[in-house]
Amino acid sequence: MPGGTLRIMNTQSQSPTDLHRERLALLERMEQQFPEIPPEAILKEDLLRTGIRFDEEALRFCAEFKTKSYFIFSFDMVPISDMEQGENLRAPEEIRFSGGDHRYRPTTVSVRVNPHSPYQGVVRDGRLRLACGERDLGEVELLPVPEYYRRQLESGQPVHEVAPTIEWGYLVYLTVYRKCQYFGFNEECRFCDINENYRQQVKAGRPYRTVKPVEEVLEALSIIAETSSAAKAYTLTGGSITRQLKGQTEADFYAAYAREIEDRFPGRWIGKVVAQALPEDEQKKFRDAGIRIYHPNYEVWDERLFEILCPGKTSYVGRAEWHRRILAARDIFGPENVIPNFVAGIEMSRPHGFTDPAEAVASTAEGLEWFMSQGVSPRFTVWCPEPLSPLVMEREAAGETQGPAPLEYHVGLLRAWRDTHRRHGLPVPPGYGPPGVGNALFSVSSFMDVIEV
Ligand code: SF4
């Protein structure tokens, strides 16, 4: 397996000064090109597609705060083996930047470690700041370690391994199956590192287990229920189950957790599940177990790219059937509670993706129009080209790099999502906390930040 250090867009041949100057000029250009998109969302998208680096002093500063839990994928731009400062154990889960020259409103962003990023967390005058070279971009707030992160279960497992939280403590993320049965070249999604991340985390000593026992999930949730009022929702998720897991189908496996949680804590949190687009009878098992929001992720809209990038989903279900089942779920959960995800940016991945950002946005906007005109609001996460994903490993094996999609694509997509959502008069997607710039908690893309309130 290649060592896989992803360097963003030829940064090796640039001096740090040029790199920072170019990045600041890019931000300015995007702000001029998209005056209707908040500058906070532009910077947030760039941080998500580029990552952040931390020097030793900044990492020491972060030690008192909530660190990355690796709740499902790596969401980093280098493998753990290339993190010379032990960032996998020390970097924060999320930052909230504000202030600076732009007087940014508080904006919450997931941290993607990249020691080669032009963006850096630095300590100045005893405070953590976000910088791009010499330019100070604003103050950084970190989330203190919640009390439940300091607790252990009777088995000795830390609560934060069984039930970590993201979105500033709003969402309990229950990856109860840490692998995916879409496996190998012919099946796994090309942008996904779930199985490789499992291996690297276990090798690095994190107490990952393939399946989380339901009793431990309940014990962890009881500690969260006692100690946290910030947590408002939980997501049950993990890899796809194409055959059986512990003698259960995918719907039976995930629904069993939901049923236990809802029996023990009825209505305490908004229950969500990320699963395949399953036949209607299977979907009903989630609803009957108490799940309120269903995420049957379609990943990418374009038909040709879906077949290339999602070979397992293509062969087991097929794109047309996947979409039909998403629409069928409206009658089971209610249209606003069917929220399929796509991975924004993979439609520009090499070698098969679009090369023109405008064409990529137009393709994805076609999908948004198709879903939203039928009452379903997809949401998206910003693609992080993870070094252990097939898309990146294959490029590296060919001696090339797999950089992220251009910022112009990401900001154009934000505009397309916001305009389409507004045109169809759709409600704010439930289960994400407050919308609007300065308020949004969703940290892996800015779709909630661009909703006007
Ligand atoms: S279905 Fe695709 S994206 Fe989801 S875990 Fe499996 S390989 Fe990854």
Q: Are 111 and 102 in contact (CB under 8 A)?
A: no
241 Cβ closer than 6 Å to some ligand 1 atom: no
- The mean of the pLDDT values for the chain is 95
Nearest CA to ligand 1 atom 8: 192
For the chain, percent of residues with pLDDT exceeding 70: 97
Asked if the model's pLDDT at residue 10 lies above 90, the reply is no
Average pLDDT over residues 256-272: 98
Q: Are 277 and 296 in contact (CB under 8 A)?
A: yes
Question: Residue 125 is encoded by which pair of tokens?
Answer: 């005058």
Q: What is the pLDDT of residue 397?
A: 96
DSSP 8-state assignment for residue 74: -
275 Cβ closer than 6 Å to some ligand 1 atom: no
d(CA 75, ligand 1 centre) in Å: 14
Instruction: Give the confidence band of 13 by pLDDT, cuts at 50, 70, 90.
Output: low
Average pLDDT over residues 69-94: 97
CB-CB neighbours of 227 under 10 Å: 16
Sign of CA dihedral 224, 230, 233, 236: negative
Average pLDDT over residues 125-151: 97
CB-CB neighbours of 229 under 10 Å: 8
Please give the helix or strand (H or E) that residue 136 lies within, else none: strand 135-141
For 391-432, the DSSP string reads HHHHHHHTT---PPPPHHHHHHHHHHHHHHHHHTTPPPPTTS
> 211-232: per-residue pLDDT in tens?
999 999 999 999 999 999 999 9
Which one is predicted more confidently, 362 or 183? Answer: 362
Instruction: Give the confidence band of 1 by pLDDT, cuts at 50, 70, 90.
Output: very low
d(CA 335, ligand 1 centre) in Å: 24
Average pLDDT over residues 112-138: 97
Instruction: Give the confidence band of 5 by pLDDT, cuts at 50, 70, 90.
Output: very low
Q: In what order do the strands lie in the sheet with 119-124?
A: 53-54, 119-124, 127-132, 135-141, 94-99, 104-110
Please give the helix or strand (H or E) that residue 27 lies within, else none: helix 16-33
Domains defined for the chain, CATH in brackets: 11-141 (no CATH), 147-423 (3.20.20.70)
Nearest CA to ligand 1 atom 4: 239
For residue 187, give the ligand 1 atom closest to its CA.
7
d(CA 190, ligand 1 centre) in Å: 9
Asked if the model's pLDDT at residue 413 lies above 50, the reply is yes
d(CA 299, ligand 1 centre) in Å: 9
Residue 338: name the closest of 291, 306, 382 by CA. 291
> 348-396: per-residue pLDDT in tens?
999 999 999 999 999 999 999 999 999 999 999 999 999 999 999 999 9
Q: How many Å apart are CA 199 and CA 72, to the nearest integer?
A: 12
Q: Does the bond joining 351 to the residue before it have cis omega, within 30 degrees of 0?
A: yes
Give the global pTM: 0.96
